[in-house]
Amino acid sequence: MDVKFYHCLTCGNIICKVVDSGVVPVCCGSEMILMEAKSVDNGLEKHLPHIEWLDDMTLRVKIGSEPHPCTKEHFIQMIALQTVDGIDIRILDPQKCLDERTRKEELAHLAQAHKEDKKCGLDLACRIEKLFSSKDGELSEVPVAWPEQIFHCNKKDAIGVYAYCNLHGLWHKSLR
Ligand SMILES: [Fe+2]
């Protein structure tokens, strides 16, 4: 069965059906909108889940072929794995994504510095990387991150991965 995510255009509620009786859920006095998942990444920002099996029971999901904006106005809000047993939904927090990214960068930097056998001075430029984009001729800074989640499931039971961007909607990568 396809997973059905619904969206309320009034309050922003997002729900996922556990049992599908066929009735459309109602929120704020109106029927909720069934979100159609996109599976082709042709916009400026990239949203398709990228899959890497670390072993037969461990799946790493990374969103986008390049880092995605990571602000409370625009971020990857959810990553979910569908298996034959159900759905494992992870709710993401933009600040935590940035913190995790910074921590990974620090570790990579320390590892590199260690390799080169010299002291590592972690300054701000090294810790926080920003994406510079041009909007209306003006340079703006948008923090970006590469949201990722580790899931544990039997490889043969995995069905698909969903990602939800609060601006660009629902995305789906089939694992079958
Ligand atoms: Fe987006």
Highest-scoring range by mean pLDDT, 40-49, 111-120, 163-172: 163-172
pTM of the model: 0.79
Scanning the structure block, which residue is given the tokens 């569908």?
A: 82
CA dist 2 to 107, 112, 174, Å? 39, 44, 11
Distance in Å, CA 167 to ligand 1 centroid: 5
Predicted local confidence at residue 94, as pLDDT: 85
Residue type, position 143, single letter: P
Residue 122 counted as domain residue:
no
Distance in Å, CA 161 to ligand 1 centroid: 16
Q: What share of the chain is helix, strand, coil (3-state, %, to 5)?
A: 15, 45, 40
Distance in Å, CA 119 to ligand 1 centroid: 38
Read off the pLDDT of residues 100-133 as tens digits, 9 standing for 90 and up.
Answer: 777 676 666 656 665 565 444 433 333 333 333 3
**Claim to verify: residue 108 and residue 163 sit in the same structural domain:** yes
Q: For 8-85, where are the E strands, in sequence order?
A: 14-16, 26-27, 30-31, 33-34, 49-55, 58-63, 68-69, 76-83
**Rounded average pLDDT over 139-167:** 88
Which phi-psi region, left, alpha or beta, contains residue 145 (left: φ > 0; alpha: ψ -120 to 50)? beta
Read off the pLDDT of residues 45-74 as tens digits, 9 standing for 90 and up.
Answer: 899 999 999 999 999 999 988 888 888 899
**Claim to verify: residue 91 and residue 111 sit in the same structural domain:** yes
**Claim to verify: residue 137 and residue 154 sit in the same structural domain:** yes
Residue 66 counted as domain residue:
yes
> Residue 51: which domain range?
38-116+128-174
Distance in Å, CA 115 to ligand 1 centroid: 36
